[in-house]
Structure 1
């Protein structure tokens, strides 16, 4: 389903509001970690439309020649060490968001909004964020000009993309990527390494998108013949993991694998903020992903394993079986109801996309990830069953913009895909 975003079609607002309410009453992965955590407050339909409209139009604005990116949360005013409360709340409008936006980026802080006694939405302050930030509230983020992501309960629900309003389906990207990063013996069951590999790949893509230089990552199995698809000599080769410590080799018991909640109980130790060793390991993986992403700013591709051991960067891709311009691949998007669409190889775009698609065509077990300078993210991979080359476009909608919240929801989705049932 899609609707005209410029007028925020009422059917879209009604559907989104109903989905938010349904999620508010459903089981969430956060309940495993903190059963006393408050649920987010669901805004009225009118306030929901106003919040989306404000962030959407702000995303097109420039402040001193720089695009404005804002993060907005619907939350009651509160005092705390991580909050700044204005003495006089500011009316919510694109103009006020444009003024605040540049001051609340890098590191990100979240503009906080709540209606006053007369029911008018006001900016009452902001909350500082972090990689460990979790919110149960309605969260509206500007990802780029005309691109807005809507999250509730830590889960991405919908997006505004230029003139369209859509519902996000992160499972589309996950279904395409998981078979390439799962050990053969682990296929068909939940696996902590698979969770870490998948979320880490999304962290890398998000960091590539943030540095704004564009780049390509090629994920290849250990011992594969990827060298045949690379022009030699490679200027920057050697190999490094960029990880200071190894993860605990944890695996769930058969009893824990019988339900989502059982699996969440298992990973609670690995993802709980209260577990110092796990928090340190998680932080080191984030640092590792950031270092890898930074290397992609060098012209050429970076090659690594699913466990993020980096072989080289600055590599030039060389075709083994050159793909004709009339060759068709299948385009997908992480959007609900989006069907595979035939796409000519020649219509992919620039050199990065063409070479990455060629690599995925020549290396059936590989994943190719491309981030454009304008923030668009595309994954290329080959389906094992059909042999089709697939391009997952607009993958930026499925990245971990929700931080740790998104990582937890991905664990939930992975357990569902592995055939686990709710208790």
Structure 2
């Protein structure tokens, strides 16, 4: 059985990470972090008007307080202080959470010379931070404060420094590292292989439209990235529903499956294709503009700028189409049962029940994306019905990949690797970025 972890363990780990970091501002004492996480954790267990608490808290430093109210770009976050600081208590936090949707704002928290926490004010434009984490924005937004702590669910705290997750406390389990199964290993190889048809389609488009400045090699990375991002965004949307769910990517839609609702929804692949085509057009037009301005050293023609405006509009429409397709597929998970996708991410059915019953003797839990060593065998019967069904199907059907989203927000990946059924926990699905200021701890501390 895993060792029980508390907010004290979370505070100790985050304190050690911050102390070892290259962050130049004032670093909060461990007592402040312990009090911060404790109040947040117990607030997460409560409800307000029958709703679960979900809020983001930004821990300020005096250096950040001096600059957070200054606006740079139009959509940059700003700090708006209250007339009087409000004591940082569970009661006050629960009440203010109703006015601080994580997609709109963050509560700015500070501490005084006696290490007493209080709510200093509110930070706006949080939409851009959340959009970036959820792959709905490419440009990295400005961040305020030293750390952000998000109440993700009941008893679930996620601590982020800039755009790097430091740790997550999920009830009594402390996660210090996320596994990026989409970057390397069997899951990444599976996804890369499944982009072959779209790559052929893009290659034909480049050749037919005579884009002499491009080859398929220029766009392969984006094609693979769009596949991974599409899956990540679907998983994140399903998690936000808070009811759990599962998706299965397979090439056999009959064996071992009993669909309740069958359909062929291919809009996601069409949207990815349209986004790639409009990206190629946009890059081509902007490249022509750059050449024209460089050679002529004067204003380019109105026709050139109209072409640019049209390509920009088309690109934005394609991005909106992709967002709509992701949300459509995610919503299908609200019906009990699996959402079944083809290798090309066409929806084949939803509300699907797995009829395969035979479980493997064990499930190998991997601590690395590559799943070559450090495998921990677990009895599949220790897991719930949704997990056991996916275990049975993926074990009986090599070449399939399943994802389970638990009600507490944990996302796991399952597939057969060789003769073993492998599961990855704590997989990376957000658009987290490694901070250059955060350094690895020594083994003794980590």
Distance 1:143 1:14, change over 3 A: same
Contact 1:216 1:301 survives alignment (8 Å): yes
1:325-404 paired onto structure 2 within 5 Å: 327-332=361-366, 339-350=374-385, 352-383=386-417, 386-395=418-427, 398-400=428-430
Q: Give TM-score scaled by structure 2 length.
A: 0.67
What's the CA shift for 1:240? 2.8
TM-superposition CA deviations, 1:157-208 (whole Å, max 9, x none): 212233344412333575452121012798xx98222222223212211111
Rate the CA distance shift 1:247–1:13 in 2: closer, same or farther, 3 A: closer
8 A Cα contact 1:173 1:334, kept in partner: no
User: Does structure 1 residue 52 correspond to structure 2 residue 37?
Assistant: yes
**In structure 2, how many angstroms separate the alpha carbons of the residues matched to 1:206 and 1:345?**
25
**Which whole-Å CA distance do the structure 2 matches of 1:248 and 1:62 have between them?**
44
Structure 1 residues 180 and 210: CA distance shift in structure 2, 3 A? same
Is this contact kept in 1: 2:257–2:353, CA < 8 A?
A: yes
Q: 1:182 and 2:181 equivalent?
A: no
Q: Give the direction of change, closer, same or farther, for the CA distance of 1:372–1:185 in structure 2 (3 Å limit).
A: closer
| 1: CA distance, partners of 2:102 / 2:13 | 32
The answer for unaligned runs of 5 or more in structure 2 is 133-140, 197-218, 281-311, 437-446
Aligned to 2:349: 312
Q: What is the aligned length?
A: 352
- Mapped partners of 2:367, 2:157: distance in 1: 16
**CA 1:148 to 1:374, structure 2 compared with 1: closer, same or farther past 3 Å?**
closer
Aligned to 1:96: 92
1:148 to 147, 150, 157: 157
1:70 is the counterpart of 2:55:
yes
Equivalent residue of 2:131, what SS?
Answer: coil
8 Å contact 1:226–1:363 — kept in the other structure? no
CA distance 1:306–1:104, change in 2 (3 Å): farther
Determine the structure 1 residue equivalent to 2:255.
Answer: 228
Q: CA deviation at 1:328?
A: 0.9
Q: CA deviation at 1:372?
A: 3.1
CA contact (8 A) 2:264 2:346 kept: no
For 1:226 and 1:244, the matched residues in 2 are separated by 23
**C-alpha spacing 1:305/1:191, structure 2 compared with 1 (3 Å):** farther
- TM alignment of 1:5-404, pairs within 5 A: 5-8=6-9, 11-19=12-20, 21-22=21-22, 24=23, 42-75=27-60, 76=65, 77-78=68-69, 83=78, 84-105=80-101, 107-116=103-112, 120-126=116-122, 127-130=124-127, 131-133=130-132, 134-136=141-143, 137=145, 138-171=147-180, 174=183, 175-183=185-193, 191-220=221-250, 224-231=251-258, 234-242=260-268, 244=271, 246-248=274-276, 281-305=318-342, 307-319=344-356, 322-324=357-359, 327-332=361-366, 339-350=374-385, 352-383=386-417, 386-395=418-427, 398-400=428-430
Aligned mates of 2:382, 2:401 — CA distance in 1: 20
